[in-house]
Structure 1
């Protein structure tokens, strides 16, 4: 995985948890609006809307860079519309990034070993 792809995945990962938190807070504010005089829905709606649009934009860029299959891309998009899905997306993206780093290191070591064998 190249640095631009890893960066795209990391950006998506970093926005997924705040997007999930804003979604949960928006749901809580909606309940409070209907049960009390407290109305923070306009503010939380704006915050969540901005984070959701940012998530979708970063999702599209990560899909383009990582060349995910349609199923995986659809899963990450589906997780953005579930109230706690962003937490699962963050965990999956972190694992995917860690696996790609391990694979890149293994490829580098194999390449280095191959060079050593040729030089000897």
Structure 2
């Protein structure tokens, strides 16, 4: 069925997408159009996906044998726009668990 790796890749994609939507669509609408509904709509799903991404990163560290620098890079990518897409391409697609 689905491996833990593929679930992590889906969570990383959704977390990255929700972060981009929150930063570049919802927040400008909130402040420029005085309409906070999109931030409220995207905020909770993004928060849940962020927590899931961090938790799954800790769970996958032994499977991938990430060194400390790689592990921190994977964690920090969750707070950088487009970071999770980079992680998927560099760390997740090229390795197999």
1:71 maps onto 2:65 in alignment: no
Relative to its length, the structure with more helix (as a share) is 1
Is 1:30 aligned with 2:36?
no
Aligned to 1:61: 59
Task: Quote the RMSD (CA, aligned, Å).
Answer: 1.5
Please list every run of 5 or more consecutive structure 2 residues that lacks an aligned counterpart in the other structure.
Answer: none
Provide Cα deviations, 1:66-117, integer angstroms capped at 9, x if missing partner: 23111111111111110110111111211123xx6xxxxxxxxxxxxxxxxx
Which aligned pairs between 1:73-88 and structure 2 lie closer than 5 A?
Answer: 73-88=71-86
Matches within 5 A, 1:1-120: 7-27=3-23, 28-39=25-36, 40-92=38-90, 93-97=92-96
Deviation at 1:9, TM superposition (A): 3.1
Any unmatched runs of 5+ in structure 1?
1-6, 101-120
Cα shift at 1:65: 2.5
Q: Which one has a bigger Cα radius of gyration?
A: 1
Q: CA deviation at 1:34?
A: 0.4
Query: What TM-score comes out, normalization by structure 2 length?
Result: 0.84
Distance 1:9 1:71 in 2: 20
